[in-house]
Structure 1
Amino acid sequence: MKTEQKIKLFLVDDDAVFLKSLEVQFLNHADFEIETFSTGELCIRNLDKKPDVIVLDYHLDGIVKNAINGMQTLDKIKETNTGIPVIMLSSQDKIEVAISCMHHKAYDYVVKSETAFVRLQKVISNIFKFQKMEKELNWYMDRM
């Protein structure tokens, strides 16, 4: 996944061990500029850094009492910038949760598992393939 610039990736999870593991995997396997956040509030406060993709935990309920959860964070991200692709991440393997995330405009939903990193890589790769195709299509449409 090579581009002219590093992909700016925000990782948001209240599980410090999982968050660090994910960060290390991305740093070791791809060319990313990564920022990690343990709460949705911290992520939202840093949206001015213009992330290319956000990987966001569904719950976010483990560190700060009364912190906003992942769905509330997703809604606030989309209020700020609808164009940022947000991949929801959760240990819940329930179709209802995935559907709810998609209704809230998540790009995709990935279940936390031993294959989550591989799945995240694939989803992120697809995001940039889709964006490239969209730009090319717009370029062609502008010339007609």
Structure 2
Amino acid sequence: METKHKIKIFLVDDDTFFLKSLEIDFLQDAEFEIVTYITGELCVENLSLNPDLIILDYHLDGIQKNAMNGIETLDKIKAYNEGITVIMLSSQDKIEVAVNCMHHKAFDYIVKSETAFFRLQKTIDKVQQFKKMEKELNWYMERM
């Protein structure tokens, strides 16, 4: 019997209510292992735990006013390992914010709303499909 690999997700948000709500939603699905952080600094300090995916808030200044924001955290994640998929979250529904996130190599940008969890699920499915195709392509390229 083959055991299915759990997808390790880091949830990073300074809004503890939203963070806990998201964690509960994800834990209802057995294929996820969830680790939560309230600052970007804590997330970066624990990258050696090898997350498959990071869901990262854009601001991150609610707990500590001098804390790293989401873009700074995203840059440090990508400097540590370019292959870690990061999905940005924000309550700001502004195209400039979304473009900034994508410019810094986020996989996607999702606005916090009542549908955010469902949009995250769809995006995670896209990430998994993309990684599967990438793996298959690499397999074929190695044989050429």
TM range, normalised to the smaller chain? over 0.9
Structure 1: stretches of 5+ with no match in the other structure: none
1:36 alignment partner, SS class: strand
Shift of 1:65: 2.4
Instruction: Supply the AA of the counterpart residue of 2:50.
Output: K
Q: Is the aligned partner of 1:23 residue 2:16? A: no
Show CA shifts across 1:70-129 (max 9, x none). 110001111111100000000000111000000000010000001000000111111111
User: Within 2, Cα distance between the matches of 1:14 and 1:27?
Assistant: 19
Shift of 1:30: 4.5
User: Within 2, Cα distance between the matches of 1:62 and 1:137?
Assistant: 42
Of 21-30 and 112-121, more deviation after overlay is shown by: 21-30
Alpha-carbon contact 2:11-2:55 (below 8 Å) kept: yes
User: Within 2, Cα distance between the matches of 1:22 and 1:70?
Assistant: 17
User: Within 1, Cα distance between the matches of 2:13 and 2:123?
Assistant: 18
User: Within 2, Cα distance between the matches of 1:63 and 1:140?
Assistant: 47
Show CA shifts across 1:40-82 (max 9, x none). 0000000000000000000001001211101100011111111
| TM-score computed with the length of structure 1 as normaliser | 0.95
User: Within 2, Cα distance between the matches of 1:122 and 1:80?
Assistant: 26
Q: Is the aligned partner of 1:106 residue 2:106? A: yes
Alignment of 1:1-144 (within 5 A): 4-144=4-144
Structure 2: stretches of 5+ with no match in the other structure: none
User: Within 1, Cα distance between the matches of 2:47 and 2:98?
Assistant: 24
User: Within 2, Cα distance between the matches of 1:97 and 1:66?
Assistant: 20
Query: Structure 1 residue runs of 4+, over 3 Å off?
Result: none
RMSD, matched Cα: 1.0
User: Within 2, Cα distance between the matches of 1:141 and 1:6?
Assistant: 27
What is the count of residue pairs matched by the alignment? 142
User: What is the identity percentage for the equivalent residue pairs of Structure 1 and Structure 2?
Assistant: 71
| TM-score computed with the length of structure 2 as normaliser | 0.95
